[in-house]
Chains A and B, each alone.
Chain A
Amino acid sequence: MSNSIEPKKSGIPQSVDDVSFVEVNQPGPAPLTQQARGFWVTFRSMFKKNLTVAYPDVKAPTEERFHGRHQLNRHPDGLEKCIGCELCAWACPADAIFVEGADNTPDNQMSPGERYGKVYQINYLRCVFCGLCIEACPTRALTMTNEYELADSSREKLIFEKEDLLAPLRAGMLQPPHPMYPGMNDTNYYNGDVTSAHPSQEGKQ
């Protein structure tokens, strides 16, 4: 092993021997009284009320308006609320959302009106849970749940697709695509005039 290391700017080679080491005085063990005081703090805490929880066996409820994983909501008949307008993506300061819109067609009606979100992705490695996307959404399609367990083992798994984000079908809802509620237009949907699916929407694509 050579003793010389990188030459300095001056050009004079410097050897490891030139470097002086300074002895640092380590403090010795503390007096016994001090040690006892320390252990007393620990001992006293054993009788206090627990602040931590045994996560993941026990899960503490979040605050009601906690910003958790997003959800893409549905109209009461099951049609998607998202119209693929990309306003959430536009609002996002972290560029976490990717949306591609497409045309609703008579045999592929996914949301009321003309346009639906064909591709919808949120990248949870980017999202900072600021909620600006929720504020931007004109149809209240995008809201946030209280779910916070968003750790995973790969980057790909943390890009949530539309299927991962869509709200589950509740009672009275039909899986889209299906036609709009008879006699209702997109404004009716926004105004909440549609309260559940109509039998005629069933089985039709």
Chain B
Amino acid sequence: MTTQESAVAVELITVVIDGFEVSVPKGTLVIRAAEKLGIQIPRFCDHPLLDPVGACRQCLVDIEINGRAFPKPQASCTIPVEPNMIVKTQLTSPVADKAQKGVMELLLGNHPLDCPVCDKGGECPLQNQAMSNGNPTARLGGVKRIFEKPINISSQVLLDRERCVLCARCTRFSEQIASDPFITLNERGALQQVGIYENDPFKSYFSGNTIQICPVGALTGASYRFRARPFDLVSTPSACEHCASGCDMRTDVRRGKTLRRLAGDDPAVNEEWNCDKGRWAFKYITSQNRLTQPLVRNGEGELVGASWPEALAAAAAGLVGKRAGVIVGGRPTVEDAYGYAKFARIALNTNDIDFRTRVTSDEEANFLASTVVGSAVQYRDIDVADHVLLVAFEPEEESPIVFLRLNKNFKKRALAVTSVATKGSIAMDKLKAKFIKVTPGNEAQAVATISLTAKSVILVGERASESVGLLSAARTLAEKTGAKIAWIPRRAGERGALEAGAFSQLLPGGRPVSDSAARVDIAAAWGVSTIPSLPGRSVRAMIDAVHSNDLDALVVGGVDIADMPQSAHAKEAFKKAFVVSLEIAHSSVTEVADVVLPVAAVTEKYGSYINWEGRPRAFAAAVADSLNRSDVRILSVLADAMGQSIMLGTVTAAAREFAQLGTWEGARASHVSVQPGTPVSVSGDQAIITSWRRLLDEGSLQMGEDNLAGTRRPTLAVISPSRAQKLGVATGDHLRISNAQGSITLPALVEEIHDDAVWLPRNSIGSNPLQTLDAVHGELVTVVKA
């Protein structure tokens, strides 16, 4: 829509609907023109974001063009307006009204009397329109069509075929939007039904959307089935906490318990879609072992329950006068991140604060400070781009809505996509992307050779930090060609943490720590005399500093040690240092922490995220009466206990203060270019390892939702055909990938990948190279047949 609006002088056509004139852009469908007048034509198959099909025939109206009437009522959802068109809907044409009632009668003729046990009951377009546009009594009797029900079309989507009105919304969504055509309409006539292909189960990352757009209760979610009625639910607009796409969402809560989440409607971001993780991964909040009270480690080294004043006093005692750092984790809200940023500078008097608990580099830190903070490349830039270059970024796995937007542009206008990656992927096939196959570690050289224009967009994934020189190469390419460059992290809180200053090199609003004017600016706003000027440490440097006795204490937000490289080394540091952990549930950090302070989960608090575009995504507390508080409030009382107030008693106060600070108008940190590393050479059974996380894996925010876990992609190790031949391995045989640290055995998949490389997923069942091999990208491993 937005692109159409910006186009110059749209041609308008005036039509008469039920006696009222309306002018709409050329190409508008009659049903939409009627909507503009507030005239509602009943419909099932019509959906504004899907191509018209005219499958259900519920939207019949009388149409006359230039005085010549169509002999029969026409489907208003398939006919675009034309000059001199006169439309009569059910409101003014008895013929149209009768036709609609007839269609409704036929639909109901075979429709089961399931309303009392049907999840859609109460919010069902069929119920509603049968009341508004149907006959009050039925003439058709006899036995209705009976199917076995329900059938699982995937572990999370159930199909009741009897209830299906064959509108083809689900199949069109899968084909046109997600490009996962795993479902289709089979058979003909009364037996027509939605079905799955025998060999291809409906494993789509977007399958939940079909449930949301099904106009009847034919598709239902296994996790929500029979859980509630619409009137039980209190709905709150919310934002997704999972990835940096930034989906608008709706959270439905019954008696303090989240029962379902739906995609919200934000045309600029997620349109009306979301991914299955955002839709279903919310049980971690209630199913995990939530913390109910503060914990303090006692003399015997055991964590025991404590009161808030005791815990705060213990935390303060361990932090005051000590050299302490802050590790925020990738999932804070902007307000919480701002709280951590201010806490570090005022209460701990340090710039040792970082949110990157993953594989990082100093090159990345510089890239974030010089290129990313404050940038505003948006989804709509993809809509007008001539070419999109993906760098170390697997959109479907790492930011699914970016994939949907790329796919939309590919389908609508054949957008050219190029991907510099170490492995081919399903998404690349769907986008018909040009795959520039590189060995892990050699991405930078490949990026340098790509030609782009000023209308191109470069999307850089967070994994670019794992290949030396890659971020510099991407930035250089953008500078050379004028292309826009955007950085897309995997987690929802990273961009916000960067903007809010929870970062060693930046103060809030993108103010460089190294810039004395920026420090004075913030010191004045915070009412303190100085802001520490010593450059801060990254997470990795903080861990090392603990080991070398240069750091005594750590304040840790939501962090899973398993996500960190050299996690054993990190865990030792957490054990050694005095750790104050702010967490929602027992975790690998609380296990070794000295003081544990429980905080609110995302449904229990207010706040906002900033998505990859730099767009704020505010949300309200869905569970209104929770006693848990957001991190920023806890940090504020902790700072008080330390005698160093940060005055951020509420989320609103933090939001207001952060907004008042505004963004830095002075110079950004300067960019320091890093040269690509030297290629690793491979011999014998050796291969260079490459890996990334997939959308659905063993992530801690997906715990407790087994139906969702059922649609994970299988855990496989990918090798090239020539390596497979050399090893005598075929798809399905097992491979052992090993180094000095350990070994992983996985079934092989022979696919598009460089001959020198082997790929395996991170953090999946049976495959966590980060933990087992301590290797993720660009290092040598041995690959043999198992």
Tell whether A and B belong to one assembly.
yes
Q: CB within 8 Å of B: which residues of A?
A: 83-87, 89-90, 100-103, 113-115, 138-139
Among B116, B122, B227, max chain A CB count under 10 A is at B116
Q: A85-B116, A90-B231, A115-B226 are in contact. List 6 more A-B contacts (CB 8 A).
A: A83-B116, A90-B122, A90-B229, A114-B117, A138-B115, A138-B116
The answer to whether A115 touches B229, judged by C-beta atoms less than 8 angstroms apart, is no
- Tell yes or no: B699 within 8 A of A by CB: no
**Shortest CB distance B423–A (Å):** 40
- B-side interface mostly: loop
The answer to whether A103 touches B116, judged by C-beta atoms less than 8 angstroms apart, is no
- Tell yes or no: B225 within 8 A of A by CB: yes
Which residues of A lie under 8 Å from residue B226 when comparing CB positions?
Answer: 84, 101-103, 114-115
Q: What are 30 inter-chain pairs, A to B, with CB distance below 8 A?
A: A83-B116, A83-B117, A84-B226, A85-B116, A85-B117, A85-B121, A86-B229, A86-B232, A87-B116, A89-B229, A90-B122, A90-B229, A90-B231, A100-B227, A100-B228, A101-B117, A101-B226, A101-B227, A102-B226, A103-B225, A103-B226, A113-B117, A114-B117, A114-B150, A114-B226, A115-B117, A115-B226, A138-B115, A138-B116, A139-B116
Chain A minimum-CB-distance residue to B143: A187
Q: Number of B residues whose C-beta is below 8 Å from A?
A: 13
Give B455-474 as 1s and 0s: 1 = Cβ < 8 Å from A's Cβ atoms. 00000000000000000000
Which residues of A lie under 8 Å from residue B225 when comparing CB positions?
Answer: 103
Alpha-carbon distance between A101 and B220 when the two chains are bound, in angstroms:
15
Among B150, B226, B231, max chain A CB count under 10 A is at B226
Q: CB within 8 Å of A: which residues of B?
A: 115-117, 121-122, 150, 225-229, 231-232
Alpha-carbon distance between A100 and B259 when the two chains are bound, in angstroms:
12
Which residues of A lie under 8 Å from residue B228 when comparing CB positions?
Answer: 100
Which residues of B lie under 8 Å from residue A102 when comparing CB positions?
Answer: 226
Closest 9 CB pairs of A and B: A85-B116, A101-B226, A138-B116, A115-B117, A86-B229, A115-B226, A83-B117, A103-B226, A102-B226
Alpha-carbon distance between A103 and B117 when the two chains are bound, in angstroms:
10
Which residues of A lie under 8 Å from residue B227 when comparing CB positions?
Answer: 100-101
**Shortest CB distance B254–A (Å):** 8
Which residues of B lie under 8 Å from residue A113 when comparing CB positions?
Answer: 117
Which residues of B lie under 8 Å from residue A86 when comparing CB positions?
Answer: 229, 232
**Shortest CB distance A101–B (Å):** 4
Alpha-carbon distance between A101 and B254 when the two chains are bound, in angstroms:
13
Alpha-carbon distance between A104 and B488 when the two chains are bound, in angstroms:
45
Which residues of A lie under 8 Å from residue B232 when comparing CB positions?
Answer: 86
Which residues of B lie under 8 Å from residue A101 when comparing CB positions?
Answer: 117, 226-227
**Shortest CB distance B110–A (Å):** 15
Alpha-carbon distance between A37 and B150 when the two chains are bound, in angstroms:
80
Alpha-carbon distance between A184 and B232 when the two chains are bound, in angstroms:
33
Alpha-carbon distance between A114 and B151 when the two chains are bound, in angstroms:
12
Which residues of A lie under 8 Å from residue B117 when comparing CB positions?
Answer: 83, 85, 101, 113-115
Alpha-carbon distance between A6 and B232 when the two chains are bound, in angstroms:
50
**Shortest CB distance B687–A (Å):** 47
Alpha-carbon distance between A55 and B117 when the two chains are bound, in angstroms:
44
Which residues of B lie under 8 Å from residue A83 when comparing CB positions?
Answer: 116-117
Which residues of B lie under 8 Å from residue A85 when comparing CB positions?
Answer: 116-117, 121
Which residues of A lie under 8 Å from residue B121 when comparing CB positions?
Answer: 85
Alpha-carbon distance between A85 and B115 when the two chains are bound, in angstroms:
9
Chain A minimum-CB-distance residue to B150: A114
Alpha-carbon distance between A132 and B731 when the two chains are bound, in angstroms:
63
Alpha-carbon distance between A113 and B149 when the two chains are bound, in angstroms:
10
**Shortest CB distance A130–B (Å):** 18
**Shortest CB distance A56–B (Å):** 38
**Shortest CB distance B115–A (Å):** 8
Which residues of A lie under 8 Å from residue B229 when comparing CB positions?
Answer: 86, 89-90
Alpha-carbon distance between A102 and B121 when the two chains are bound, in angstroms:
15
Alpha-carbon distance between A84 and B119 when the two chains are bound, in angstroms:
11
Alpha-carbon distance between A139 and B117 when the two chains are bound, in angstroms:
11
**Shortest CB distance B68–A (Å):** 49
**Shortest CB distance A160–B (Å):** 19
Which residues of B lie under 8 Å from residue A115 when comparing CB positions?
Answer: 117, 226
Chain A minimum-CB-distance residue to B113: A138
Chain A minimum-CB-distance residue to B254: A100
Which residues of B lie under 8 Å from residue A138 when comparing CB positions?
Answer: 115-116
Which residues of A lie under 8 Å from residue B115 when comparing CB positions?
Answer: 138
**Shortest CB distance B116–A (Å):** 4
Alpha-carbon distance between A17 and B225 when the two chains are bound, in angstroms:
74
Alpha-carbon distance between A85 and B118 when the two chains are bound, in angstroms:
8
Alpha-carbon distance between A38 and B121 when the two chains are bound, in angstroms:
65
Which residues of B lie under 8 Å from residue A103 when comparing CB positions?
Answer: 225-226
Which residues of A lie under 8 Å from residue B116 when comparing CB positions?
Answer: 83, 85, 87, 138-139
Chain B minimum-CB-distance residue to A84: B226
Among A86, A103, A113, max chain B CB count under 10 A is at A86
Chain B minimum-CB-distance residue to A138: B116
Alpha-carbon distance between A115 and B119 when the two chains are bound, in angstroms:
11
Alpha-carbon distance between A9 and B339 when the two chains are bound, in angstroms:
50
Among A84, A89, A101, A102, max chain B CB count under 10 A is at A101
Chain A minimum-CB-distance residue to B160: A114
Alpha-carbon distance between A87 and B118 when the two chains are bound, in angstroms:
12
**Shortest CB distance A109–B (Å):** 14
**Shortest CB distance A188–B (Å):** 13
Alpha-carbon distance between A139 and B116 when the two chains are bound, in angstroms:
9
Alpha-carbon distance between A89 and B231 when the two chains are bound, in angstroms:
10
